[in-house]
Amino acid sequence: MSSDRSGSAIHVVAGAVIDAEDRVLIAQRPPGKHLAGGWEFPGGKLRPGEDRRAGLTRELREEIGIEIRTPRPLLRLRHTYPFGEVLLDVWVVRHYLGEPQALDAQALRWCTQAELESTQLLPADAPIVAALRLPERLIQASTSHYTVADASALTPDGRLRGVFCTSRREAQEAVAEGAEFLVLRGAASRGEISALCAAVSVPVYARDLALEEAWTLGASGISEIAD
């Protein structure tokens, strides 16, 4: 469990590990654990006071034997199971050393995105599958998987819904109204970006930053959509 928790929620870090063929790794929970037999993204509980990236690095080393580099923040979500509430902190891991191995008596499986969408993942993990369709760099405002618009123009159509915003208040209001990711309309200071990313649970796209710096601040990527 982690000291970074609200109420009694268990803070869990998980990695969507992606290989050179764009396949995503999932793990089956071994016998003797909660939800044994269910498929999930590898990871585990943070230790008290542990940094989120440090916890992810440790968990993936202990569970599947890889050393990760520059993980990309994706989203944070909450789910209530019979044993309690889980705060799932999800990262995309494309850069790592070593070959994933089953070090925790769990089965491992590589899936294409299409296979992942038809796999019976644990209930808390389902929203992650859709979010994995979001790119690191947003170049288009609309694709077959997502659309970005002003909050007033946001309409449900089966795609992930992104909202342009200019402040933390706008961002929080947009998330409350159903935005599934946020795109900063203009440049913001690093402190503002970090604070916004900490305040919301959905992916955030910053502007005028290098990718790895954006990830360090908590953003999921950068926007190159023309104003």
* pLDDT greater than 50 at residue 2: no
pLDDT of residue 1: 25
142 sits in the region (left: phi over 0; alpha: psi -120 to 50; else beta) called beta
User: Tokens standing for 67?
Assistant: 């050393």
5-54: pLDDT as tens digits: 445 788 999 999 999 999 999 999 887 677 777 899 999 999 989 999 99
C-alpha span between 30 and 84 (Å, rounded): 19
Please identify which residue in the block is written with the tokens 């089965």. Answer: 107
E-strand stretches of the chain: 10-17, 24-28, 39-40, 43-45, 67-69, 72-81, 84-93, 95-97, 107-111, 137-138, 146-149, 160-165, 181-184, 204-206, 221-223
Please identify which residue in the block is written with the tokens 């992930």. Answer: 160
Residue 156's Cβ-side half-sphere holds a number of Cα atoms within 13 Å equal to 2
State what percent of residues in the chain have pLDDT above 90. 71
Angle at 159 between CA 157 and CA 161, to 5 degrees: 95
pLDDT of residue 227: 66
Say if residues 143 and 158 touch (Cβ distance below 8 Å).
no
Average pLDDT of the segment spanning 202-212? 95
153-185: pLDDT as tens digits: 777 788 999 999 999 999 999 999 999 999 999
Query: Residue 121 carries which DSSP code?
Result: B
> How crowded is residue 208: how many other Cβ atoms within 10 Å of its Cβ?
12
Rounded to 10°, the helix 168-176/190-199 angle is 20
20 sits in the region (left: phi over 0; alpha: psi -120 to 50; else beta) called alpha
Alpha helices in 135-222 (DSSP H): 168-176, 190-199, 211-217
Specify which residues 73 forms β-bridges with. Answer: 91
Q: Which of 126, 158, 153 is nearest to 143 (CA)?
A: 158
Say if residues 133 and 162 touch (Cβ distance below 8 Å).
no
Question: What's the whole-model pTM score?
Answer: 0.90
